Amino acid sequence: MQQASPFSAIIGADSLRSQRSGVGRMTLEIIRATRYRPELARLDLLLAGRLRDTGTVLAQVEAGLDPVRVPSPLLRFKRLVADVPGVQAARRLKHLSGQRQRMAALRSRGGGRVVYHEPNMIPELFYSPFEGPTVVTMNDLSWHHHPEYHPPERLRWIDRNLRRMLDGSARFVAISHFTAGALVQEFGISPLRIDVVPLAAGREFRPVSREDAALVLQRHGLEDRHYFLSVSTLEPRKNFDRLVAAHDSLPMALRQRFPLVIVGGSGWGNALANPLAQRARDTGTLRLLGHVPDADLVILYARAAAFAYVSIYEGFGLPVVEAMATGTPVLASSTTATGETAGDAAALADPLDVHALTVALRRLADDKDYAETLRARGLARAAEFSWDRTASGLIASWSRALA
């Protein structure tokens, strides 16, 4: 059988910020995993409305820079002249012309075949001169099922663009069977247009020895294997209020031995602005570390007594797999996609049931044999996912979109 000729691809990369959320981490990994695939003649990135070289952007990200706001004398000059009459219009014309030239070059390299992939649902190329097929990753439908957990401006943005996205996309990538089923049921999308492509933990997520973790734990004031960890952007959907309440229901001695440590940047909705959380912070049984470097994050995962991810609605639950890959026992929501992702390798509980969460946390702290069983199962479960498999699924979806 004759092998298909290589094609070109563009990935929307606006989520590659210096403090990346789950979508940003996913986007970075799929770029790394697909960049050198033999099926691709070239891979470019669309970032802040401009086509960018993949190698340049990855170098900036790996240097800890925000690729949208890399400081330079040219950027400072552009800011100085931005308000000069006529400059903005001239820049828009030049930008549009440059985009058309880059698109022509991409089509040429890909034998006339170029596909655009949007990892964050609403394709930016709807607003650029692109005529090829678009593939969209649907990470979850929480905005549809739980609009109360999203800021109004996000809902307005989705409402303005949803129909165009649904009608204009050649294919959809669902990151779980749960999300694929929701797309069919809620929006009538044909299953033939949906590819289920699960995510994975990055290769850096692996077990870490106590000795190698010592300095990081000391810097954060934590004792090895004596803290519960949760990782997420702080927003209402992640259910931190109930997690804090469940932890607060443990005996004080247990809370002091196993404080709840939350890692993640501020989102919206003041998820932990309540008296209970403030009291727990005052007593030291709740620690908010904010955003931490990736190297610290791996160690914090790996040396926790257990990891808790009890979000109300998830399309996959990537932190569950990341924690499992480091050898840490996991407590996850029994609802939506996290149960599918965790399989039988995690303790599962109803995220709305504070008592059930408390019972699960206590068992993870007290029952060492149970924790060890989950540790072994988690490592095996995490190994079933890989970004190479994800890349193969994406390439197959892109190829179908071009067929």
Higher pLDDT, 111 or 258: 258
Topology of the domain comprising 7-200+386-402: Rossmann fold (3.40.50)
Task: Give backbone dihedrals phi and psi of 209, rounded to 5 degrees, phi first.
Answer: -70, 160
pLDDT score, position 48 = 83
Q: Where are the alpha helices (DSSP H) in 21-151?
A: 22-34, 54-62, 73-81, 87-109, 142-145
Using 50, 70 and 90 to split pLDDT, how confident is the model at 162?
Answer: very high
Is residue 76 scored above 50 in pLDDT? no
Vertex 77, ends 75 and 81: CA angle to 5°?
120
> Of 17-31, 215-229, 245-259, 341-355, which range is least confident?
17-31
User: pLDDT for 229-275, tens place per residue?
Assistant: 999 999 999 999 999 999 999 999 999 999 999 999 887 777 788 89
User: pLDDT for 327-340, tens place per residue?
Assistant: 999 999 999 999 99
Residue tagged 């019972």 (tokens): 359
Minimal CA–CA distance to 33: which of 201, 195, 180, 172? Answer: 201
Using 50, 70 and 90 to split pLDDT, how confident is the model at 77?
Answer: very low
Is residue 73 scored above 60 in pLDDT? no
Is residue 356 scored above 90 in pLDDT? yes
Is residue 78 scored above 80 in pLDDT? no
Give the domain ranges of the chain. 7-200+386-402, 210-382
Is residue 93 scored above 80 in pLDDT? no
Is residue 398 scored above 80 in pLDDT? yes
The mean pLDDT of 302-323, rounded to a whole number, is 98
Quote the CA–CA distance of 109 and 7 in Å, as a whole number. Answer: 7
Is residue 301 scored above 70 in pLDDT? yes
> Of 131-135, 267-271, 304-308, which range is least confident?
267-271
| 210-382 to CATH, choices 3.40.50.2000, 3.30.930.10, 3.40.50.300, 1.10.3210.10 | 3.40.50.2000
Is residue 108 scored above 60 in pLDDT? no
Minimal CA–CA distance to 26: which of 13, 42, 8? Answer: 13
Minimal CA–CA distance to 343: which of 353, 332, 354? Answer: 332
Using 50, 70 and 90 to split pLDDT, how confident is the model at 109?
Answer: low
Is residue 104 scored above 80 in pLDDT? no
Question: Quick check: do 7-200+386-402 and 210-382 share a fold?
Answer: yes
Quote the CA–CA distance of 29 and 225 in Å, as a whole number. Answer: 28
Is residue 387 scored above 90 in pLDDT? yes
Q: Is the Cα dihedral 400, 137, 310, 14 positive or negative?
A: positive
pLDDT score, position 71 = 54
pLDDT score, position 260 = 99
pLDDT score, position 1 = 44
Is residue 20 scored above 80 in pLDDT? no
Is residue 18 scored above 80 in pLDDT? no
**Across all residues in the chain, what is the average pLDDT?**
89
pLDDT score, position 117 = 96
The mean pLDDT of 78-102, rounded to a whole number, is 51
Percent of the chain clearing pLDDT 90 (strictly above): 74
Take residue 181 and report the two structure tokens written for it. Answer: 């089923």
Using 50, 70 and 90 to split pLDDT, how confident is the model at 124?
Answer: low
Take residue 250 and report the two structure tokens written for it. Answer: 């443990």
The structure's pTM equals 0.88
pLDDT score, position 123 = 77
Take residue 377 and report the two structure tokens written for it. Answer: 């199962």
pLDDT score, position 262 = 98
pLDDT score, position 106 = 54
> Of 111-120, 121-130, 150-159, 381-390, which range is least confident?
121-130
The mean pLDDT of 110-123, rounded to a whole number, is 84
The mean pLDDT of 124-133, rounded to a whole number, is 68
Percent of the chain clearing pLDDT 70 (strictly above): 87
Judge whether 26 and 199 are in contact, CB under 8 Å: yes
Quote the CA–CA distance of 302 and 149 in Å, as a whole number. Answer: 30
Maximum average pLDDT range among 96-110, 159-173, 263-277, 364-378: 364-378
